[in-house]
């Protein structure tokens, strides 16, 4: 039972970490695109 709980929390932790990283990269990409568009409009 304890092993199952540990493995579940580990998997959830990895998934949350992956999602957080992907989200951070997405935000970075979007701000980068906005910066490129801003420099083009100048």
Quick one: pLDDT band at residue 42, thresholds 50, 70, 90? Answer: low
Average pLDDT of the residues in 4-24: 96
DSSP-derived 3-state class of residue 1: coil
Q: What percent of the chain has pLDDT over 70?
A: 95
Chain centroid offset of residue 31 CA? 14
Q: Pick from 9-13, 22-26, 34-38 the range whose average pLDDT is largest.
A: 9-13
Give the pLDDT score at 10: 98
Q: What span, in angstroms and rounded, lies between the C-alpha atoms of 18 and 31?
A: 20
pTM over 0.75: no
Q: What is the DSSP letter of 32?
A: H
Express each pLDDT in 17-35 by its tens digit: 999 999 988 888 888 888 8
């Amino acid at each position: 039972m304890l092993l199952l709980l540990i493995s579940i929390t580990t998997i959830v932790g990895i998934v949350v970490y992956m999602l957080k990283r992907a989200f951070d990269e997405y935000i970075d990409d979007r701000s980068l695109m906005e910066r490129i568009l801003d420099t083009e409009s100048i």
